Amino acid sequence: MKTNILTIFKHTWGLMMSTALTWEAIRTELKSENSTFKTFVLPWTIIVSLVVSVFSALYSTQKVIETGFVMGFVTAIAIVGSYYLSRSLAFSFFRKNHSDLFSKSDISKIVAHSFSVVYLTKIIASIIPSLFFLQILNVYTVYIVWEGCRIFFNINEDERGKSMLLISLCVIFMPSIISRIILMMLPGF
């Protein structure tokens, strides 16, 4: 477990600092599509949800425990839902346009690791809410996906641009959209 957590942080930090080298390392790992979820997305979901839960409770003026629990739970649902929706859209895109490159394992790796910036900005914005403007850094996801598509699929720039646009937009906006929809359905939040 300790090695898994260190690997998660190493991959996340590597994608921010030396994207191409880290994508090469991720590509060589032998993981199935489900193990990518279990070893990368799920631990990050738990970490982010716990941080959001604790700091939402700390910054809440009323219903402290309830607010922390609900915000943590909504964050977990938004992250997992975003991962599966983004992955499904990427699967259908690659199946339709690049059936020769279609690999569920590779697409799962790209989508899962592309959420790295989103995880970190969510944690920072939860700990210090006045730094909410740092969420603009989620745009760096575009470069992360661009490099990932180049390394994993080796497709030309036009096609890489289409796949990058689809995956990046899903990764950047899907968690916010899912969170807003869930919070609109909850009375009192």
Instruction: Find all residues with CB under 8 Å of 91, minimum gap 6, and list them.
Output: 102, 104, 107
Burial class (CB within 10 angstroms; exposed 0-12, middle 13-18, buried 19+) of 133 = exposed
Mean pLDDT, range 145-158, rounded to an integer: 85
For 124-150, write each residue's pLDDT tens digit: 999 998 888 888 888 888 999 888 888
Give the tokens for residue 88. 């499904």
Q: Give 77 or 3, the one with higher predicted confidence.
A: 77
- What pTM was estimated for this model as a whole? 0.88
Query: Per-residue confidence at 33, pLDDT binned at 50, 70, 90?
Result: low
For 75-108, write each residue's pLDDT tens digit: 999 999 999 999 999 888 888 887 777 778 888 8
Average pLDDT, the chain: 88
